[in-house]
Amino acid sequence: MQNFFKHYLFLIVAIVIVFMSFIGVANWLIDPYWIYRTVEIKGVNKIKPMFRTHVRMAKANLVNKIKPKGIILGSSRSGYGLDPEHPGWTVSSVYNLSLPGTTIYELMRYFQHATVDDSVKEVVLALDFFMFNGQRKFESDFKENRLNADVNGNYNFISGFADIGATLFSIDALKASYRTLYSQNEENMFLDNGQRSWTSYMQKIERVGGVRNMFHKVEREYLSDHWWFSSCRRYEFNESESNKSTFRYLRTIISEAYKKNIRLHLLISPNHARFLEVIHAAGLWSIYEEWKRQLLFTVIDESKKSGKQEFRLWDFSGYNKYNIEKVPLKSEKNKNMRFYWEPSHYKAELGTIILDRVFSSNHFSNAGRIEFGNILSKQSIETHLDNIRKSRTFYQENNKADILEIISMAESTKDWRSQEKCKQLIQKGLHP
């Protein structure tokens, strides 16, 4: 009887091993998260729909595979807009490591992850206002243990094993493989170089009924939620738990770039002029200006500490030719914009102009082109901010219908910007 149970237990263990091996091999071959880069067969697994929902895991692992010499770090704005294959790069291979809805802490950690082995020599860091909100929570797919470096920059020896179980031997991975097999009529939302596919955003705009409706959707989201994230708190640079400034994470990036001799390009992402009006309507303009001052102060201070030349900080925001592009009317459902998808995300064509300026190259050729972007300095910052305010007055005078739309949206969403009323709405089961 004892031998029977031994044989029975052995049989069960063998079946489990065979079953898990089958799952592992199947997931490895289909590679639903696009991290093993095994074999890609058109109509079988070439399209990777699950990459989008696991982008932090996928990109962290792909950096280990590709080992790029250059990276782009930022939010989905730089994810859509900045091209790793722009001719201005001084290194041979570049990957767009931008993360949707990210924080400056996450960008610091992914910078440490990609640069821990000193292979990265050039970085473009695209900075956005929302990243520095200390009240912002991490996205659910952000995991520290999968990153090659710990928070102090020391090598994490177990990082390579962090996602093996989840990507090869889990039921979720098997479901993802199944979804991959049956989604081959779709299009990849990311290119091989990490940049977001433009086709996906075109489809999104079509679903909401045109560009102006997409503008309204995004503007309303920011007025009611995106700067507060359902926490019913005001925007603050200090983190709620530590009460320390989020700018210290930017300091770490700059400091480590100096130590590793990385060529670091810093830029403030552009937004459409309507988005700047949304910042005004939300009561955040003075904080937004202070954010720019603090960015510059951080750059200058870290330069002094290192004894090296300042990294240039470019500002591509403001009311200029590109950012005041006319938004199609509601009736013009099939009309697209040249430089913007919606007020928050710019197109790759504008991204090319940005990188032309940052790299001081001439890839973009257009007779109507104007100089775009300003390098911020201690001497110029206040004049620069004042010029933006003056340009805003001109924009308001010439775009009264747009201003009225934003004022109306701000009025209809004001309860979400009141801490007390916001909590009452959430207690009622309502959400922005």
Question: What burial letters (b/e) apply to 84-101, b meaning 16+ CB within 10 Å?
Answer: bebebbeeeebbbbbbeb
How high is the pLDDT of residue 387? Answer: 96
The two beta strands, 374-375 and 313-315, are antiparallel
Neighbours of 401 (CB within 10 A): 8
Residue 249: burial class (beta carbons within 10 Å; 0-12, 13-18, 19+): buried
Per-residue pLDDT tens over the stretch 106-136: 999 999 999 999 999 999 999 999 999 988 8
CA–centroid distance for 181 within its chain: 28
Predicted confidence at residue 365, as pLDDT, reads 43
Confidence of residue 429 (pLDDT cuts 50, 70, 90): low
How buried is residue 75: exposed, middle or buried, by Cβ count under 10 Å (0-12/13-18/19+)?
buried
pLDDT of residue 233: 64
Give residue 430's pLDDT.
63
Structure token digits, residue 409: 């949206």
Question: What is the edge-to-edge ordering of all strands in the sheet holding 122-127?
Answer: 94-96, 70-73, 122-127, 263-268, 313-315, 374-375
Which sequence spans correspond to the domains of the chain? Answer: 69-155+193-427
